[in-house]
Every structure is written in structure tokens, then in C-alpha cells.
Structure 1
Amino acid sequence: MNLSKIALLTLSAIGMIWAGQARAQSSITLYGVLDEFIGYQSTKVAGKNTSLVLLGNNGELTSRWGLRGAEDLGGGYKATFDLENGFDPGTGAVQNAYRFFDRQAWVGMAGPYGEIRAGRQNTPMFAWSGNLDAFSAATYASGYNNFANWLARVDNDISYLSPKIGTTQIELHYSVGGQPGTLAGNAVYQAAVQSNLGPVYLALAYLNAANATNSNRVQQIMAGGNYEYGWGKIYVGFFRGNDVISATTGNALSNPAGKYNPTVGPVGNVAGNYHNTWSFSADYRFSPFLSVGAGYAFITDDSSLDNTARQMSAIINYDLSKTTRVYGVVSKLNNYNSAQFKMAGASITTGAFLTPGAGQSETGVQVGIRHLF
């Protein structure tokens, strides 16, 4: 073999080594969810018995696709990002006409002392709520999701995620309001902590959001956890908020599901009364593939309207594989006084559910399929 061939082979080997290192230093992952269901709801609307049968989207998880990436910068540091779009698989339309990456759009820097992110991000309340509920805080069956009203996502959010201290992690968030002359107008502040203590998981999150003039503040607190008893989990969830909710006179949060028009601030100008939601649920695994669950949730209203409600539900999940699940739920929701709570889901499109008349009960049945990729 002559020197030129040896040199060529050497250069080729070096090129392959460098290419392999470059690929190892950065990564991009395409991921997503597809969720479709057949749903049935029955209630009284405007004094008439009304039922709805439909092919719906986003029962257990919101359908989405996203790009998640990281680049190794050396010394234990890396650049990170996530771009995530929500869509309706029934029509192929984006869920939010005002923004393409409506679910997440952030860039960050991670290192030995934690991670800093900036952009549109999930709130800890939204991200952790599924750990406090046998229904994963979704489907018709989740009274916790149907009654509570946590802010799901925040624009212009700067966050700090601590490294795990044992099994405990802390998150701090500040969303820049962008109002001239003030750092408080339209700002959103968050603090949260979650921990795994053997079979016990615990979470606590607080949110404080101001309107544009800082004359009204919505405050929310979420707490709860679960206990792994060997064949399943027992869940407890609590949520308290002072925002005006749909069961009363509107909603002080313009963005309860992260889909508001970005020209509108996150908080309305009408101060609300406190509402407390409690959720108790449990599941049981017959096998690694088959599980059942049941739960009870209720909400109390501190206002003079006393708009309370309760819900009892059951669920069955069967995993066809690691990425594909079929699920079925049955649920009964009872409204009292002028309350109008409804059965929603992970992020069901407006018009794909019924809103009961004041004080009317609602029945729901849902059978769906969810695929992860």
C-alpha cells in the first residue's frame, strides 16, 4: 500500500471520528402524541335534555408534535431548546390560530448548578398535575381538571430549574410583563418544589399573576401527591385560586389553557373569590398492561353564589405497547346552585363538549386511543 492510500485512509478515519463526536455533542429529537376518542355527553342545556356524540381529539393527552434538542458545550454545560405545536388530528388544524408553537417555545442553558430557560413554557402546575390524579388530570373523568383552573403556560417566561437535591427539585419562574414603566404589570411569578421520598411523591406550586396595571392579582396554589402501594397508586390533589371561574361570572385568567390571543394580558380586571378543589383517586394494575382507576372530586365556592360541584368517575387503560394505549371512562358530574362546570379533557376543542345549564348534572362516556412517537 503506497503512502497516498495510507494518508487517504487515515484522513477518512479521522473524518469519521470527528463526525461521530459532532453527532455525540448535539442531538435533536422529534416527538409527539396522537389522541382521538369517541365521546358521549348528556345534560340539560337551556332547560332541554341534550346529548352529544362525537369523534373528538385530545381526551387523555393533547395531540402535538415537537422538536427537543441539546448541544454539549463542554465542562458539564449544554444548550437546550424545545419547540412544541398542538394540533387537532380530526381536522389537521393547529389548535391556536394566533401562534404556531403554542405549547412550548424556549431556549436554555443547563449545567452543574441547574438550568435556566427563556421563552414560552409550561407552568409547574400544569406539568405536575397529572401526578396528583388517577386520570392524569385529563379525560372527561378528571374532576380535578374540570374544577381547578391552573394557568397552563406563560409567555416571555424566565425560569430556573435547580439540580436535584437528593430527590427534590425546585423551580422558580418570572414572566416579563412588557409594560412600560413597570416590572409588575402583566408579570407572572411562580415557585414550585417536587420530591420523591421512596414510594411517596409530593408537589407544591404557587402562582401569582398581575393584570396590565397591577391593580388585580390572581393567586393559585396547587398541592398533593401520590403513594405507590405496590399494585397501583393512591392520589390526592388540592387546588386553590381566587380567579373568577366559568361557574360564576367569567374567568379572570385570559389564558387558562395556554391559548389566549397574545395581545391580551394574562389576567382580567375583575377580582374573584377563592375556590377550593379537592381530588381523591386511586388506580390498580392487574398487569403491566391493564389498569383501572376511580376517583371523587369536589369544589367549594367562597363567594355568595356558593357555586359548588362534585364528580365521580372511573377509568380503564390497556396498553397495546409501550407507545399505544386504549382507554375508556365513565363519569357523573353534579352542579349546584348556578354552577356550570363541564367535562373537558386534555385540551378538547371548543364546540366538542356540552356546557350544562345552571345547576344541571352531566353524564359522560369516552373511549379513545392514544399513540406516542
Structure 2
Amino acid sequence: MHKSNKVALLIASAIVTAAGPAHAQSSLTLYGILDVFAGYQSAKVGGKNTSLYVLGNNGELTSRWGLRGTEDLGGGYRTTFALENGFDPGTGKQQNPYRFFDRQAWIGVSAPYGEMRFGRQNTPMFAWSGNMDAFSAATYGSGYNNFANWLARVDNDISYISPKLANTQLELHYSVGGQPGTLAGNAVYQAGVQTVQGPVYLALAYLNAANATNTNRVQEIMAGGNVDYGWGKIYLGFFRANEVISATTGNALSNPAGKYDPAVGPVGNTRGNYHNTYSLSADYRFTPFLTVGAGYAYIKDSSSLSNDASQMSGIVNYDLSKGTRLYGVVSRLNNRNSAQFKMAGASITTGSFLTPDGGQSETAVQIGIRHLF
């Protein structure tokens, strides 16, 4: 063999040898969810008894596809990232046409002392709420989700996630407001802690968000958890928010602190007025594949309007496989005075639910299928 060919082979071998560990130290995962349901709702709308039959999307989980990855930097350090897009399987449309990666888009660095992330991220309240509800804080049947109206995710977010110590983990978040001359305008501050102690899970989260001029603030607190009694779980959930996040006419706000839809701003609030949501639910595993649950949720309006509401629901989950589930829900929501709370479930597209007239009740049935990949 010619000397130059031998040199080329040696160089090629060295490149292959060096590239092998590099590929082994990196990972990229494509994942996703498809969720479609048949739904029925009945309520008085516009003074008329109205029924709605739909083939809807995103009943138990929001349909999405995503990429997540890591690269091992050595010494216990890793680069991490996540990109996630929400969509409606029934139409193939993006859930939010004004942004492509509408759910998550962040990059981070993980180290032995914790992880720092930068970008659009889920809030601890959104990420942990399903652990406080037999309905996973979704479907028509989750009164906890229908009443609580927490902020799901935040733009321009800087977070610190601690290592687990005694099965306990801390999260701290600061979202940069980007307003000239102030660090507080349009900023969002969050703190949360969750722990698992034997059969008991507990979590506490707080959020404080300002509008662009720092003259009005969203304030939220979430607390709750569950206990595994062997054949299922019992769940408790509490959520408190001032009126800027939960208007007295119902779940009216879609945009606390301008962080969700840039075209919509916060609604006004009255100092001292709050909504408190209480939720109690439980499930029972008949088999490893079949689970039945029920729950009750109540929201108390502290304002003079007393626009309270309550909801009772039942759910059946049947797992066909590790990735595919059938689910069924039946639910009844009762509004009081002029309250207009509705059964919206997970990220259900407008047109897949009714908004009752003030003080009117609502009944719903939902049968769906979801697949994880």
C-alpha cells in the first residue's frame, strides 16, 4: 500500500475512534402525544338550552410533538434542551399560530449542584397540577383545572432546578420583562418545592407577575398532593388567585403579564378580592389496566358578587398498552349568581366547549383515546 494511503487510513481511523465516544455522550429524543375525543355538552347559552356534539382534540393531554436532548460535557456537566409544538390532530393546525414552539423552547446546563434553564418554560404550577387531581388536571371533568386557571408557561424565563435531596426538589424562576428602565415591569417571579416521602407526594408553588408598567400584579399560590393507599390515590388540591387571573364572571383571562399572547393584556382587579379553589378526588385500580376515579371541586369568590361554582365528575381510564389509553368522563358543573365557569379541560380548541350563561349549569360527557410515542 502506498505510504500516503496508509497515512490517510490512520487519520480516518483516528477520526472514527474520536467520533465514537462523542456520539455516545449525546442523545436526541423525538416524542409526542395524540389525543382525540368525542364530546357532548349541554347548557343554557344566550337564553336557550343548547347542546354541542364535537370531535375534539386534547381532552386528557395536549397533542404535541417535541425534541429533547442532552450532551455530556464531562465532570458531571451536561447541556440540555427541549423544543415542543402543540397542535390539533383533527385539523393538523398549530394550537397557537403566532408561535411555532408554543409549549417549550429552552436550553440549559445541568451540573452536580442543579440545572439552569433559559427560554420558554412550563411553570411549576402547570407541571405539578396533575399530581393533585384524579383527572390529571385535564378533561371536561377536572374542576380543579376548570376553576384554578393557573399560568401554564412563561417566556424569557431563567430557572434553577435543584438536585433532589431526601426526595425533595426546589425550583426558582425569574422571567425577564424586557421593559426599558425597569426589571419589574412584565417580569414573572416563581418559586416551588415538591417532595415524595413514602406513599405521600406534596407540592407548594407561588407566582407573582407584573404588567408592563408594574402597576398591576397576578398573584397565585398552589398547594396539594396525593397519597397512595395501595389500590389507588387520594388527591387534594388548593389554588388561590387574585382577580387579575380569575375574573368574577368566570375564567376570563388568557394572558397574565402579557406572557401568553402578545396581543392580549391583563384585566383589571380589585385589591383584596380573591378566588379560592378547593379540590378533593380519588381513584381506584381494579386491575393494572383499569382505573376508576371521582372528584369534587369548589371555587369561592370573595368579592361582593359571590360568583361561586362547584363541579362533580367521574372518570374511567383503560390502558390498552403502555402508550395507548381509552378514557371516559361524565361531569356536572353548577354556576352560582352570575358566574360563567365552563368545562374546558386541557388545551381544548375553541368550538369544542360551551360557555354557559351567568349562573347556569352545564353537563358533559367525553370519550377519548390518547397515544404516547
TM superposition score normalised by structure 1: 0.94
Question: Structure 1 residues 74, 358: closer, same or farther in 2, change over 3 A?
Answer: same
After superposition, residues 206-225 of structure 1 pair within 5 angstroms as 206-225=206-225
Structure 1 residue runs without a partner (length 5+): none
Amino acid at match of 2:170: I
SS at match of 1:147: helix
- 2:340–2:356 contact (8 Å) kept in structure 1: yes
> C-alpha deviations, 1:16-40, integer Å up to 9, x for none?
5433312211111111100000000
SS at match of 1:159: strand
Q: Does 1:307 align with 2:307?
A: yes
Q: CA deviation at 1:251?
A: 4.0
The separation in 2 between residues aligned to 1:259 and 1:145, in whole angstroms, is 19
- 1:98–1:262 contact (8 Å) kept in structure 2: no
Question: Structure 1 residues 309, 243: closer, same or farther in 2, change over 3 A?
Answer: same
Match of 1:193 in 2: 193
After superposition, residues 84-123 of structure 1 pair within 5 angstroms as 84-123=84-123
> C-alpha deviations, 1:295-323, integer Å up to 9, x for none?
01100000011000111100000001100
The separation in 1 between residues aligned to 2:269 and 2:28, in whole angstroms, is 44
- 2:254–2:260 contact (8 Å) kept in structure 1: no
- 1:82–1:107 contact (8 Å) kept in structure 2: yes
Structure 2 residue runs without a partner (length 5+): none
Mean Cα displacement is larger for which, 281-290 or 241-250?
Answer: 241-250
- 1:335–1:341 contact (8 Å) kept in structure 2: yes
After superposition, residues 315-354 of structure 1 pair within 5 angstroms as 315-354=315-354
SS at match of 2:299: strand
> C-alpha deviations, 1:33-89, integer Å up to 9, x for none?
000000000011122110000000000000000110111111100111100000011
Q: CA deviation at 1:268?
A: 3.6
- 2:153–2:260 contact (8 Å) kept in structure 1: no
Amino acid at match of 2:364: G
TM superposition score normalised by structure 2: 0.94
Count of aligned positions: 371
Q: Does 1:294 align with 2:294?
A: yes
Q: CA deviation at 1:253?
A: 5.5
Match of 1:177 in 2: 177
The separation in 2 between residues aligned to 1:144 and 1:276, in whole angstroms, is 11
- 2:209–2:256 contact (8 Å) kept in structure 1: no
The separation in 1 between residues aligned to 2:165 and 2:135, in whole angstroms, is 29
The separation in 1 between residues aligned to 2:11 and 2:323, in whole angstroms, is 42
Q: Does 1:254 align with 2:245?
A: no
Q: Does 1:145 align with 2:145?
A: yes
The separation in 1 between residues aligned to 2:205 and 2:291, in whole angstroms, is 29
> C-alpha deviations, 1:175-219, integer Å up to 9, x for none?
111111111111100000000000000000000011111111110
Q: CA deviation at 1:149?
A: 1.2
Amino acid at match of 1:156: N
The separation in 2 between residues aligned to 1:259 and 1:207, in whole angstroms, is 13
Amino acid at match of 2:249: T
- 1:211–1:268 contact (8 Å) kept in structure 2: no
SS at match of 1:50: strand
> C-alpha deviations, 1:312-356, integer Å up to 9, x for none?
100000001100000000001111100111001110011211001
Q: CA deviation at 1:15?
A: 5.1
Q: CA deviation at 1:247?
A: 4.4
Amino acid at match of 1:215: T
> C-alpha deviations, 1:260-315, integer Å up to 9, x for none?
322555x3444462000000000011111110000011000000110001111000
SS at match of 2:127: helix
Match of 1:239 in 2: 239
The separation in 2 between residues aligned to 1:365 and 1:246, in whole angstroms, is 26
The separation in 2 between residues aligned to 1:45 and 1:205, in whole angstroms, is 36
Amino acid at match of 2:97: A
SS at match of 1:18: helix
SS at match of 2:21: helix
The separation in 1 between residues aligned to 2:165 and 2:69, in whole angstroms, is 25
- 1:281–1:293 contact (8 Å) kept in structure 2: yes
SS at match of 1:118: strand
The separation in 2 between residues aligned to 1:269 and 1:41, in whole angstroms, is 31
Q: CA deviation at 1:10?
A: 7.4
SS at match of 2:209: strand
Amino acid at match of 1:248: T
- 2:57–2:349 contact (8 Å) kept in structure 1: yes
SS at match of 1:146: helix
- 2:147–2:251 contact (8 Å) kept in structure 1: no
Cα RMSD over matched residues? 2.2
Question: Structure 1 residues 229, 6: closer, same or farther in 2, change over 3 A?
Answer: farther
SS at match of 1:150: coil
- 1:282–1:293 contact (8 Å) kept in structure 2: yes
The separation in 2 between residues aligned to 1:151 and 1:5, in whole angstroms, is 63
Q: CA deviation at 1:151?
A: 0.4
Match of 2:35 in 1: 35
The separation in 1 between residues aligned to 2:363 and 2:252, in whole angstroms, is 24
The separation in 1 between residues aligned to 2:2 and 2:293, in whole angstroms, is 72
